[in-house]
Amino acid sequence: MKNFDIYESVTNLIIERLEQGVIPWAMPWKTTDSIPRNLISKKPYRGFNFWYLLSFGFEQPYFLTFNQVKQLGASVKRGSKSFMVIFWKLLEVTKDGEIEEIPMLRYYRVFHIDDVEGVDAGKIPDDSAFIHNFERIDSCEQIMKNWEDAPIIKRGMNRACYFPSIDEIHMPDAKHFFKDEEYYSTLFHEGVYPN
């Protein structure tokens, strides 16, 4: 039996998201207060965990371990999929009379709040989207205006993607992007599908 390799597992999770067309570290918008966090501790996930969980585009950003689900008197819906998150810290060990710090890497599994039944609604905060005053960039608007045979662009979506079978680009609203230029950069990226 092959030993479990957490480093290989994390690499495979990133590759899986990339193969599905999602670049977890390149999401310059927030349609809800989607910074993934633990529902009980309210602590946001960091590093790989942040980007990995964010890449799924959940409306609510809350996750629970199986034990936390039980503590709340709730249950995981049948057939729900858990997500691996990693935890690391430096451990002090004594070797030959010297104290050394070595990294310890562990993983555990969490469930998204949508996959949990029986949580008191009052315990789930009401999150809102990131909103800023979007200002159009004239040169980018000119490109859009002069784009011959442009695909249909549907705004107000939770993610950015292009569907070649129906020639449609789906985009979050411009006001949900952190910067105006990131809206256009994302839109143009989705529009550059190889024909």
Helix (H) or strand (E) holding 188: helix 180-191
pLDDT for 112 beyond 90:
yes
How far are the Cα atoms of 8, 23, 81, 159, 181 from residue 27, in angstroms, in the given order?
24, 7, 23, 9, 13
The pLDDT-based confidence of 125 (bands split at 50, 70, 90) is: confident
9-13, 83-87, 110-114, 185-189: the lowest-pLDDT one: 9-13
Average pLDDT, rounded, for the chain:
83
The pLDDT-based confidence of 64 (bands split at 50, 70, 90) is: very high
- State how far the Cα of 163 lies from the Cα of 176, in Å rounded to an integer: 21
Phi, psi of 9 (to 5 degrees): -65, -45
pLDDT value, residue 36: 86
Phi, psi of 171 (to 5 degrees): -140, 145
Its pTM stands at 0.56
